[in-house]
Structure 1
Amino acid sequence: MTTPFTNPITEDDIANYLANTPDFFERHAELLAAVQLTSPHSNRAVSLQERQAGMLREKIKVLEHRIMDMIRNGNENVLLSDKLLRWARSLFLVADPLDLPGQIAGEIAEQFLVPQVGIKVWGVAPQFAHADFAHGASDDAKLFASSLMEPFCGVNTGFEAVSWLPDPQAATSLAILPLRTGPAGSTTPAFGLLVLASPDAQRFNSAMGTDFLERIAELASAALSRLR
């Protein structure tokens, strides 16, 4: 009398057997030609070879899209680097330190197409204390600037720095850059704030990277050291 199987063979058992017996299809090559699969693009049956060719084509398409994305990102990075260099060059050419804050803001607006840019600097040398950029920042704003270890990007929730802009009502998203001596992430107290604003809510969003903004803050801080 036969005994019924208590542990029937499963699909996993078959898959494991085939994976661990690579010469199976060498001994039974006729099975490969007989295998029929359903095409993912229609209801018709296709051979295993045709299905594999289709899968390879899909993988190639995915790789092509990734390569195009890499090329596009690379081109965008080159353009940004060129703009950053032109902006930095303009700062080197400023003869009068009093013109630096305006030059920084104006060139950022022009080179990077930022609709509104504001800047305040404090702790300046006595000969620069009368300038507009040296006035208007409260103690709370100065503490806020020093608390930023990296640029803030996000929606406008009523920051004081927004009032430094030409049209505060049009500022929907912001990038707020602390200005301080030392590299990005330094704990040195800030001596200024640079504010970039856009009416586009997604222009400066909380998920965006801040590496490029950090480079702008470092260069602006270095240029503004002439005021201190």
Structure 2
Amino acid sequence: MHDEQVLAYLDEHPEFLQQLAQRYGLQASPQNGERVVVSFVERQLLELKDKNRQLEAQLQLLVERGQSNDRILGRLHKLTLALLSKRDAGQRIAALRERMRQDFQLDRVAIKLWHPAAENDGEHYNAQNEVQSLARNLLTPSCGPYANDEVLSWFPALPVLQSFAQVALRGADGQAFGVLVLASDDPQRFTYDMHTQYLAQIGELASAALLSALEAA
């Protein structure tokens, strides 16, 4: 059978392709009240358009993440400047609290130190073995809904706190001299599966600022 004969047959029997559309990768679609068959090429174009939309959504997500990262970096920069503008450990702790409150919307911040130079700081000095053991075990920031009773005692009873980020404060030798705890009544603020890169940087920044002030005291 020649090509012209095939085409003539299809012209005379349009229902043939409709009946076998699925078998040959064709798709029927309504047009002007009649059922027509979408060619394989047209179907590919539709699939490409769909993939295009998916890629656009992914690109938008990447842009939004980049903008979010830029905002966090800006806040870290402001925190750095605030810490550098103060001289003693108490002032630097106060500056850290203020930046956490203003820039990160966190007003539940606890810092405990057992450096010898902090012994006279009744609010922040805590040399209990339990606290030092907690910090030693925090090789990376720990996030989640649980904190031990000692940590919970550092915060007011209300609002009920439901998520915590616990970060060890360490010197250049890797030895812990304190611990930083951020808390929230939002259970999704600090979760097990969240990335802790920026929390680690906050811990390193706070460690360097506080240790230099303590050693200069």
Match of 2:95 in 1: 103
Identity of aligned residues (%): 31
C-alpha RMSD of matched pairs (Å): 2.4
| C-alpha distance in 2 between matches for 1:81 and 1:119 | 22
- Aligned partner of 1:62: which letter? Q
One-letter code aligned to 1:148: L
Aligned to 1:227: 214
Q: Give the Cα separation in 2 of the matches to 1:223 and 1:72.
A: 31
Deviation, structure 1 residue 36: 5.2
Letter of the 1:124 partner, please give it.
P
Task: Measure how far apart 1:105 and its partner are.
Answer: 2.2
Q: Does the 8 A contact of 1:155 with 1:205 survive in 2?
A: yes
Residues 156 and 171 of structure 1 are in contact (CA less than 8 Å); yes or no, is this contact kept in structure 2?
no
Q: Distance in 2 between matches of 1:218 and 1:106?
A: 18
Distance 1:218 1:44 in 2: 66
Specify every segment of 5 or more residues in structure 1 that has no aligned partner in the other structure, as ranges: 1-29
TM-score by length of 1: 0.75
Q: After superposition, what is the alpha-carbon deviation per residue over 1:71-100, rounded to whole angstroms, capped at 9, x for unaligned?
A: 100111111100100011000001333322
Would you say 1:207 and 2:207 are equivalent positions? no
- What residue is the counterpart of 2:170 in the other structure? 180
Aligned residues: 189
| 2:147 corresponds to 1:160 | no
For normalisation by structure 2, the TM-score amounts to: 0.78
Give the unaligned 5+ runs of structure 2.
1-6, 8-16, 18-23
Query: Residues 7-86 of structure 1: matches in 2 within 5 Å?
Result: 35=24, 37-38=26-27, 45-86=37-78
Deviations 1:45-83 (Å, cap 9, x if unpaired)?
A: 421011101000011001100110011001111111001
* Distance in 1, Cα, partners of 2:132 & 2:74: 32
Q: Which residue identity is paired with 1:144?
A: L
* CA spacing shift, 1:157–1:98, aligned 2, 3 Å: closer
Deviation for aligned residue 1:171: 1.2
Which of these residues, 85, 93, 112, is aligned with residue 93 of structure 1? Answer: 85
